[in-house]
Amino acid sequence: MDFKVKYEDWCKNQYFDEATKRELESIATNEEEMKDRFYRDLEFGTGGLRGIVGAGTNRMNIYTVRKATQGLANFIIKEGKQSMGVAIAYDSRHFSPEFSEEAALCLNANGIKTYRFESLRPTPELSFALRKLGCCAGIVVTASHNPPEYNGYKVYWEDGAQVTAPKDVQIIEEVNNVTDYAMVKTMTRAGAEQKDLYHTIGKEIDDAYMQELHNLVLSKEAIKSVASDLTIVYTPLYGTGNLPVRRILSELGFEKVYVVKEQELPDGNFPTVSYPNPEDKNAFKLALALAKEVNADLILATDPDADRLGVYARNNDTGEYEAFTGNMSGLLICEYELERKKELGILPENGAIISTIVTTNMAFAVAKEYGMKLIEVLTGFKYIGEQIKLFEETGSNEYVFGLEESYGCLIGTHARDKDAIVAVMALCEAAAYYKTKGITLWDQMLRIYEKYGYYKETLMTITLKGMDGANQIKQMMDDMRQHPMTEAGGMKVLKMRDYLKPEETKLPESNVLYFELEDDAWFCVRPSGTEPKIKFYFGVKGTSMEDAKQKAERLEADVRREVEK
């Protein structure tokens, strides 16, 4: 259907509310805007929905959320699991409460019970809650670390992980089969509550989740001995991490926790940052200023749905704060967990570490050091969650740690997604433990480099919006696939792995190219599954920090020149 026809239908159809129509009337003379809003339906991909909030088929609004939820409801009913119910959480973004409510009421209208949190909660707590409650699925309304104009909708299955194959494709089919918005069911909240379909959850789940975190602590005595000395600065970046992070640190006994006041309370505008991403150094400006004021040992930031953690630690030699990448903080936590479990005699013989294909190769070295199996999966923490489920079903391995380069990791199996709350807890615990040994987190990071080698990873992202951008991204992937580079950064390409060929990679089909280089170096390219971007990941191993830095820069420069020809 032509985008103008769709636009006219939304403007005239009685199904759509007056506020929606007024918004659309305001763009009546802007054909490009009209086209962008209606040239397609907002794609329900393997990770769910993500898009700009606004009126139109290619936007996040109550109608596209209802449509997606109707498809999910149809799938749940086909699976015969409607009696189990669905847990729902949401973050601090614009319309997150409204979208989560609409999702609940659509499910209720289809006879499916819902358990919706009373207020905003972290994504990992949703993963925990749906298993705790015995639900068949979960929904989180969040756009993670995207700019403020975005929102999104992620679907989880009964194992607590985001949906994987084949169910992800089956759900997508059901969503795509909902072609008429009038097919979508809904009802009032009062009616749903009267029929015992709509339930509100909160404190009881919070308490159970916190207890799971307490069960994972390995160094209680170390925390106790330095709890009054270790100084921590934390920013929730206006998101869901504020209360649970402060609660777990307080309950463990940490006394000097300073929260960045300007970024403490929920605010979907994220007024002091361009976008609330703990991967972005600009997001730390206020936290760094506070850290210098209070002489902090470490600085922590979680994204709005609190599944990613950004870290800075003080370098006592320079007095400055050093930034940690997701690979660095993940491997520091991993090394701490394995080292302590080995000391305590509780390191499992059949233990496994799981990382994604774009995560640092240092993970292989750490796994080898502790006799752990290292399993690589596709990009996306849902594949790590899938492995945890497989371990439980087969007994093949015991899960020890999982990480991905994009600032996400998981200790324990209470959740099946990356968990910044437990990562904060573990990092502060590690800082306390190392403080009792007379070293800082930065000192420990340097010790890890000396032990395993100076691994360094970088990321290059090219943003290409709209229909033309999508075509450009496709062309880039086609060119690299058909004419692969034979050398990059002065290093020979030893092998190209094409993840569209699962018979070769032994992993699910995915539009990803991975280039193995000499000297344990590599680069990888893939289109983002949630944003209009193409991402290039780079990894090298150097003899020093400076050597690794120069190798990474040369590698990235060569690949950039190739793709910009």
Active site residues: 144
Residue 215 main-chain phi, psi, to 5 deg: -65, -15
Q: Which long-range CB contacts under 8 A does 215-218 form with residues at least 24 apart?
A: 215/412, 216/411, 216/412, 216/414, 216/422, 216/425, 216/426, 217/252, 217/425, 217/429, 218/337, 218/340, 218/341, 218/344, 218/429
Strands 513-517 and 522-527: antiparallel
Q: How far is CA 76 from the centre of its chain?
A: 25
Q: CA–CA separation, 306 vs 91, rounded Å?
A: 9
SS (H, E, C) 23-41: HHHCCCCCHHHHHHHHCCC
Q: Which is it for strands 86-90 and 114-117: parallel, antiparallel or unpaired? A: parallel
User: Could you give the CA distance from residue 130 to residue 113 in angstroms, rounded to a whole number?
Assistant: 12
Nearest CA among 236, 233, 299, 302 for reference residue 267? 236
Edge-to-edge strands, sheet with 231-235? 256-259, 231-235, 298-302, 309-314, 321-324
**Sign of the torsion angle spanned by Cα atoms 524, 526, 529, 534:** positive
Sign (positive/negative) of CA torsion 424, 280, 125, 366? negative
Please give the Cα distance from 338 to 73 (Å, whole number).
42
SS (H, E, C) 106-169: HHHHCCCCEEEECCCCCHHHHHHHHHHCCCCEEEEECCCCCCCCEEEEEEEECCCCECCCCHHH
Per the structure block, which two tokens stand in for 31?
């054909």
Distance of CA 17 to the CA centre of its chain: 33
DSSP-assigned letter for residue 506: S
* Alpha-carbon torsion (538, 542, 548, 550), positive or negative: negative
List Cβ neighbours of 556 (8 Å cut-off, separation of 6 or more): 458, 460, 489, 536, 538
